[in-house]
Amino acid sequence: MTLPVALSIAGVDSSGGAGVTADLATFGALGVWGTCAITAVTAQNSLGVDTIESMSADIVVAQIGAVCGDMDVRAVKTGMLGSPEMVQTVVDALPFGIPLVVDPVMVATTGAQLFSASNRATGTQFDAKNDWARLLARATIVTPNAYEAEAFTGFAVTDEDAMVRAARALLEHGCESVLVKGGHVGQRLARDCLILQGQAGPIWLESPRIDTADTHGTGCVLSAAIAARLALGHSIADACQRAKDVVTNAIRNRVSLGKGVGAVNPRGRLR
């Protein structure tokens, strides 16, 4: 038996709701063999993030090399990278030619800062040109939420027109496509904006908005599901639509495990 292989380059969430744990669960639920390169270890639970410890560049490079040097990796996704230095480390270590999903993780669902160059409270923005340009240029798709899109572009992403503007601005960095997530944009439906290079207009991906605060891990599950579908040979648009369905089902099957924010459950679709 053989399975397509996907690689998650991200941090570890000790509560199991996000990061590499969520990525591997999503890969497995979609019939893809999950591998990982750990960029950071977090001590966190449903109430928040207590401590973050970044891995050394050497061990991250070694993990990526060990997996990609031995296995036929069909897709890679990045999650929490933690610092501009880690972004550059990952770019240098990634083999060319593998579909790449970049989830520019900036802030945890509980509000904890997960990237040292971002602080929305003080107005500090991502330095996309210097810190992220090379990674974005390699990306098959970039999947920012509204806050992350704002950090990259410098303007507020509060409605659908701004989502389209942000997606087009990010395309200028050279990525093949951008999916700006609309979960934080107030509207009746949960609508995400997908734009591909050379495409005249956006593709809107819709799902019912589920009224719950238990959304820990949604971004990780979405980007992992896109990576899994790309590993299975789907087109970008089809991968995104199918991933949207996975996330909707994961929210419907959410779990409450502690005293704070509950986690979405990508395994729920198998039950």
Domain 5-262 has CATH 3.40.1190.20: yes
HSE-CB of 234 using CA atoms within 13 angstroms = 17
Enzyme catalytic residues: 181, 215, 217-220
Domain borders along the chain are: 5-262
Q: Which tens digit of pLDDT belongs to each residue from 192-231? A: 999 999 988 899 999 888 889 999 999 999 999 999 999 9
CB 132 within 8 A of CB 126: yes
Average pLDDT, integer, range 90-116:
83
Residue 150 is classified by DSSP as: H
Token pair, residue 249, equals 């089902």
3-state DSSP assignment of residue 141 = strand
Looking at the chain, the whole-number percentage of residues with pLDDT higher than 70 is 90
pTM over 0.85: yes
Best mean pLDDT range from 100-109, 143-152, 227-236, 251-260? 227-236
Residue 41 CB-density burial (10 A; 0-12 exposed, 13-18 middle, 19+ buried) = middle
* Long-range pairs of 21-25 with CB within 8 A, sequence gap ≥ 24: 22/217, 22/220, 22/221, 22/224, 22/263, 22/264, 22/266, 23/77, 23/79, 23/220, 23/221, 23/223, 23/224, 23/227, 25/266, 25/267
Token pair, residue 11, equals 């941090």
- What gap in Å lies between CA 197 and CA 205, rounded to an integer? 17
